Structure 1
Amino acid sequence: MILNRRHLLTVFAASLVAPAAAIAADGPLNVVATTGMIADAARQVGGDLVSVKALMGPGVDPHSYRQTRTDIVAMTRADLVLWHGLYLEAQLEDVLLDLGRSRTVIAAGEAVPVAERIGHPEYEGRYDPHVWMDPELWRHVVLAVRDALIAIRPDAQALFVANAETHLADLARLSDYAARSLSSVPPEARILLTAHDAFGYFGRRHGFEVLGIQGISTESEAGLNRIGELVDLLVERRVGAVFVETSVSDRNIRALIEGAAARGHEVRVGGEVFSDAMGPDGTYEGTYLGMIDHNVTTIAAALGGDVPPRGMDGRLSAGL
């Protein structure tokens, strides 16, 4: 059941009749996160002291996600609600702002300094929200989650700090692996074309030209002119591989491939990458580290780089 704003306010008011359970020092914190990436940060930092629910699972597009009654109930009962911000959860923003009047609600993605964000090409004062594509930026989010947990459970500060440091060390290793792997791609092959423009931070960090059929949001339309322009680019620059995304339809990517084929140029799907959602729950790719490891390894291998077939630590689910 999808809730509009009027329904939300009714459910929200009713939820306040029964107050959220008190935060017990001997029980796990009840944390609700919008995206899988934010949820993973909470699990890594909180460890056994948190119970985390992600509203958006594998394959779910956060740009168009709308809350359900179950989501509202979960959030109003949570000790802490974590969302990304930066206008990623566009359809949920009013809900979360309303909720913040009576609950601890943190937009963790907005911890990334403004100077390090990529501006939105069409809207002044808005930014590309896909900061998780760069582990160096994701550090800011992990620290924001750590601080939010400490504010609620100051008695567990030492544990949260230690867990965060361990995870930040893993992010540093991941960043180093990405730099090594992607630098092995021939410079002329460093063109990353996907369904929507989710890889801007990735491209900026590693020197790739990033192209999306749609804009930063999957809500934008991909016109025939845009597809025609990209077919021209594929043919003229002899691009050999493009990528599909797990949370976006591959219809437009297939149209590009067919358009290039009609002009005598073969383009293949270089692989499936994670853009706005992680992999299946319970898998390595269902963690932030696994998500980015998969993307780096898949992209580098498809574009002629030298990478181990199962990623940074040999944990990817299938060889390339």
Structure 2
Amino acid sequence: MTGHFDLTRRLPDGYFTDALHTDVLKGLTGRPKTLPPKWFYDGRGSELFEEITQLPEYYPTRAEHAILRERCDEIASATGARTLVELGSGSSRKTRLLLDSLLRHGTLESYAALDVSTDALREAGEQLRREYPDLKVTGCVTDLETDLGMPDGAPGPRLVAFLGGTLGNLDGDARPAFYAALHSELGPGDALLLGADLVKDQGVLVRAYDDAQGVTAEFNKNVLRVLNRELGADFDPDAFQHVSVWNEGEERVEMRLRSIRAQAVELPALEMTAEFEEGEEILTEIAVKFRRAALAAELACGGFELSHWWTDGEQRFALLLAEPAADRPGARPLSP
């Protein structure tokens, strides 16, 4: 049997252009100024993030991989998944541990990768098709903020993986909406495998987002290059300083771009000028860190029951398995 890879799009033509225009106009006219982190990820941004995951300061990838390596057979046994669905799959590098365990367990029939990046999906999907010729491999280009894009007709039980601590990029309003949307898609026997970075020493956290080599700084500034290319803007990346700070009240790391001088940036595609005072910042990413009790309660409110909680040896990162609880009133889809 020869494997095949099917790639579909759930987004209308012009979706990303329209979304970029909306996000930038709203973000750069707000107070404080903001830009969503999804606009980091053009081809160059994806390459930079892969570099970040290899940096000595960036522990989450290594910690999560260590947990997966130790617990993947336990996950396969607990779920018996016939379909593995990965949200925000990217390169699908860590996915192979789950695929191998589920295949050894004898249940897995299909893998569905969901991501906003067509290029990342195609590259990873074709590679997986070659490595797992007997496995049905599909990809779906979708924006997880508005449409989870769960595959139709995928055999259950299904295991939905949301790894890498990406949950922390969602703020306190977006996470309940995410849980509700996912809960509405899952049924008895399905499960959620969730990666969550944990609250720890402030210095360790900040350094993970401000490495000595400056790779994260380049990644942060890449959003300005995306705006220059897509909107005809004239941002000077060297006129902004990468900043990583710990927000104690929200228990999250924040990445910001700080204007090193007063300046005006033209964005012709939006027919606007963005004015910056010296020292004014753009909030480009949040990375919420979690505590077990609070996250378990948050999941319960979203309709999920925590069944397994695993951490690495240094208690830096958690991988957890949760099951959808019985249907509850008030579930709502992601905001349009």
Query: Common fold, TM-score beyond 0.5?
Result: no
Greater relative contact order: 1 or 2 (C-alpha under 8 angstroms, separation 6 or more)?
A: 2
TM-score, normalised to structure 2, is 0.29
Q: Which has the higher strand share?
A: 2
Normalising by the residue count of structure 1, what TM-score does the alignment of the two structures yield?
Answer: 0.30
Greater share of helix residues, 1 or 2? 1
